[in-house]
Structure 1
Amino acid sequence: MPHGSILESPKREAQTGTGDLHHILVVDDDPMVCMAIEIYLQRNNFQVTIAEGGEAGLRALENGRFDLMMIDIFMPHMRGFESIRIFHERAPAIPLIAMSGYAFANLNSPAPDFLRMALELGAARCLRKPFTPDALLAAINNCLAEHRAAAARLG
């Protein structure tokens, strides 16, 4: 898939019998991470849109309706937390899960807590790569449940 492309997973309403699949936007520059997340989420009855990189993710956000976003913190062409801040500003009502696999060369030096910073910029949850399928599903389900509860309080 060319860099910056958007891949929409097939809708599975006919297979599952429900027309109410949660639609998740996954934005990451690593095609293997995208593919693993997409396969696992489809198997758990989510509709998935994959965007390889920040610019493709922003285009997908403008053209689609999503229930949740999963955004990698460190991607080419977007400096670190810029992606979290921009996605949260463009769609503040959509829960955002920040992902990071950032590793430090010097493990003895104190490292900034990138995931905590992402929470301060609007992320609802953070996942440190590599994460397990169970951790992924738990984070998504918790975000969706919190979002539903908040919407019920407001509405």
Structure 2
Amino acid sequence: MNHALALDGLRILVAEDEPLAAMVIEEALTDYGHSVMLAADGEEALRLAEAVSFDVLVTDLAMPRMTGWELIPRLRAQRPDLPVVVMTGFLPPNGEQLLQSAGGSPLALLLKPFEIADLAAAIRRVAAQAAHRSAALRAAAPRPAALSLC
């Protein structure tokens, strides 16, 4: 499988409570060829995740109703391999370690303000890591014995 091709046109769920930031992210990622679904907070993102398929979660940490801190483990309980890009304006001193300890799945961290190109690169990086991990798991999985019809 060509991973470069597989990473084009990703379906991205973006949880961002600042409407202007969400619109800029949506427009930019659409320009990169991705499909973007916006959620104004973690609760809305959780509802969307139940209804639609997506490849990568991009989330703010500080949002009303349900924070990114709450959203990430809830979604990873359903999809442990979910690639996540966290964007935040404030990270507590041990925040990166806390996020990384939330599971072994691919995770990238962007501190606000950031360049859209950095966001796009982080999305491609976590999606590629997830694709490589998935391929490795499939390759390592035991194969059923061949059925011999003689």
Shorter-chain TM-score above 0.5: yes
Change (3 A) 1:80 1:54: closer
Please state whether the residue corresponding to 2:127 is helix, strand or coil. helix
Deviations 1:10-30 (A, max 9, x none): xxxxxxxxxx72100001111
Q: 1:118 to 1:21 in 2, by over 3 A?
A: same
Question: How many correspondences in the alignment?
Answer: 129
Q: Partners of 2:90 and 2:58 in 1: how far apart?
A: 16
SS at match of 2:36: strand
Structure 1 residues 92-117: Cα deviation after superposition (integer angstroms, max 9, x where no partner): 222111121127xxxxxxx5232332
Runs ≥4 in structure 1, deviation > 6 angstroms?
none
Choose which of 14, 23, 26 in structure 2 pairs with 1:26: 14
1:146 and 2:129 equivalent? yes
Decide whether the 8 Å contact of 1:98 with 1:115 is kept in 2: no
Unpaired runs of 5+ in structure 2?
1-7, 139-150
Partner of 2:117: 134
How do residues 1-155 of structure 1 correspond to structure 2 at under 5 angstroms? 21-79=9-67, 81-102=69-90, 111-122=92-103, 124-155=107-138
1:119 alignment partner AA: Q
Q: Give how far 1:57 is off.
A: 0.1
Q: CA RMSD in A?
A: 1.8
Q: Which has the higher helix share?
A: 2
Give the superposition deviation at 1:80. 6.0
